[in-house]
Amino acid sequence: MATLRLVLGDQLRDDISALQGINKETDFVLMAEVNAEASYVKHHKKKIAFLFSAMRHFARSLRDDGYNVTYIDYDHKHNKGALFKQVQWFCEKHAVDDVVVTHPGEHRLLQDMQAWQDTLDKPVEIRADNRFLVSQDFFADWAEGKKQYRMEFFYREVRKKTGYLMEAGEPAGGKWNYDSQNREPMPKNHSVPDPTTFKPDDETQAVIDLVAKHFDDHFGSLENFHFAVTRNDALVVLNEFIEQRLPDFGQYQDAMVTGEPWMFHSHISFYLNCGLLRVEEVVEQAIIAYDSGQAPLNSVEGFVRQVIGWREYIRGFYWYFMPDLASQNALQATRKLPELFWTADTDMFCLQQCVQETKDNAYAHHIQRLMVLGNFLLLSGVDPKWVNEWYLIVYADAYEWVEMPNVSSMILYADDGMLASKPYAASGSYINKMSDYCKNCHYSVKEKTGTQACPFNYLYWHFIDRHKEKLQDNPRMAMIYRTLSKMDPKQVQHMLEDADAFLSKLDANEKV
């Protein structure tokens, strides 16, 4: 009896469910760098280089541990270009009785895999994904019967279930959430530690060359590739975050600074999402830092909430609401994606910075993704289809299970409020408060109308005005609509006209 165990590029851990119970003498492990997965959207070059290199290093570590691994690299003469074809090819060459895979992170791939059994004419077992703390059923049980699905309440259930940051059944320090002590802008002259970086080894360099050759037309730069590609190096990233950044993480987690893409964030999403790091070790290390007095509770709780709250919630939300989530568009947004999202060619300094950093690093931190890039796409009414595609392409941590709820539900309100109690819409003053971007900008954040006015200002009121019917009864929007009703109608008219003119320029692909 021989089982084929397929390991995907985001399942790089030796206890992944597909490998559990393996018989190293008789079973096969298959891994493949297939074109279909690398190019069904034109992923950032660094993202492909990162994943191919991490896959190669992981395959080597499995072989060193005695597993019988067949690794099909991109240029392999038997590379079939798609996962199923590769599995089929393997089964034709070897006496395979059944196939075992771990539940993939994308709905389209799950549907594909569910059909494999019939075509292969042998059992295909799809095992639960063990890269998360809680199961899809845990989310479904929590969500059952609810009309609104707020992360904060889900997070409390995960805290209670896991016991993380709980003391005698109560939240550590007496409160579930310490965000009132967070969200500070960065003071001048407060220095940010350098990110943890690694020089590419020969294998990684070979992959970088391969990506340069085959994926030249994809978005993003391959220069200065410095990601960890092994579990040991990913653990170094985690340790250095805990030591150097975690103490300031909470306070400055929403801050943005020109030329500082990495700030006090952890930069572990790449590694968590492809299996090199485990949720439990990440959270437990942060809690040890709190227990030993190395990091304050507002930072540790804030970080733990991102990992066991937001990340687990987003994943549960995706599977609970798919496939409907993919087509939702509650605000009926139809605009195409502005070209500046590919080029960074804009006079809006905040956008220029965030797009350029995304191109350079395949990374932007949460507030850049949410309150600069996302906010602009929301206010401009860009179609969720194009926004989802962009976010899936450009970040090295992007997989549909995590990208789509963040995009469709969090930034675009396309789900009509199932995730967020109101749209994350903001004028330029939010960006001005949380960053130093505005002082370098061609536009003036203080001005509401006219050629020098910050586009976020008039786009904000255009958004509020055009969605009045849908949003005015939302209690969390009531104050904004009261403010709108008290504003000078001439000024409102002027802002709406400026916004229309701006959006026309955007559509005509003129520089804004």
Ligand X SMILES: Cc1cc2nc3c(=O)[nH]c(=O)nc-3n(C[C@H](O)[C@H](O)[C@H](O)COP(=O)(O)OP(=O)(O)OC[C@H]3O[C@@H](n4cnc5c(N)ncnc54)[C@H](O)[C@@H]3O)c2cc1C
Contact partner at residue 365 from ligand SF4, ligand X, none, CB < 5 to 8 Å by partner kind: ligand X
Contact partner at residue 466 from ligand SF4, ligand X, none, CB < 5 to 8 Å by partner kind: none
In degrees, rounded to 5, the angle at the alpha carbon of residue 498 between the alpha carbons of residues 492 and 501 is 140
Among 266, 353, 380, 388, binds ligand X (CB under 6 A): 266
Residue 154, CA atoms < 13 Å, CB-side half-sphere: 31
Among 314, 354, 434, 459, binds ligand X (CB under 6 A): 314
d(CA 274, CA 57): 13
Please report, as ranges, the residues that interact with ligand SF4 according to CB under 6 A.
348-350, 428, 431-432, 437-438, 441, 443, 445, 454-456
Contact between 234 and ligand X by CB under 6 A: the answer reads no
Contact between 355 and ligand X by CB under 6 A: the answer reads no
* Beta-strand pair 170-171/28-32: unpaired
Comparison of 74 and 376: residue with beta carbon closer to ligand X:
376
The 8-class DSSP code of residue 421 comes to S
CB of 42 to ligand X, least distance (A): 15
Comparison of 124 and 407: residue with beta carbon closer to ligand X:
407
Bond prior to 323 in cis (omega within 30° of 0): yes
DSSP H stretches of helix in 129-230: 136-143, 151-162, 202-214
Contact partner at residue 445 from ligand SF4, ligand X, none, CB < 5 to 8 Å by partner kind: ligand SF4
Q: Which stretch binds ligand X (CB under 6 A): 107-115, 391-399, 433-441, 475-483?
A: 391-399
Contact between 219 and ligand X by CB under 6 A: the answer reads no
Spell out the residues 6+ positions from residue 394 whose beta carbon is closer than 8 angstroms to its own: 44, 219, 220, 358, 359, 362
Among 106, 383, 397, 498, binds ligand X (CB under 6 A): 397
CB of 143 to ligand X, least distance (A): 17
Comparison of 103 and 265: residue with beta carbon closer to ligand X:
265
Contact between 375 and ligand X by CB under 6 A: the answer reads no
Cβ atoms of residues 28 and 5 within 8 Å: yes
* Helix-helix angle 279-291:297-304, to 10 degrees: 170
Contact partner at residue 438 from ligand SF4, ligand X, none, CB < 5 to 8 Å by partner kind: ligand SF4
What is the number of other CB atoms lying within 10 angstroms of the CB of residue 451?
9
Contact partner at residue 48 from ligand X, ligand SF4, none, CB < 5 to 8 Å by partner kind: none
Spell out the residues 6+ positions from residue 348 whose beta carbon is closer than 8 angstroms to its own: 376, 441, 442, 443, 455, 512
Contact between 361 and ligand X by CB under 6 A: the answer reads no
Alpha-carbon Rg for the chain, nearest whole angstrom, is 24
Task: Name the amino acid, one letter, at 94.
Answer: H
CB of 265 to ligand X, least distance (A): 3
Among 113, 134, 257, 370, binds ligand X (CB under 6 A): 370
Cβ atoms of residues 331 and 350 within 8 Å: no
Contact between 406 and ligand X by CB under 6 A: the answer reads yes
Cβ atoms of residues 425 and 156 within 8 Å: no
**C-alpha closest to that of 410 among 314, 477, 474:** 314
Residues that bind ligand X (CB under 6 A): 265-269, 272-273, 306-307, 310-311, 314, 365-366, 369-370, 374, 391, 395, 397-398, 402-403, 406-407, 410-411
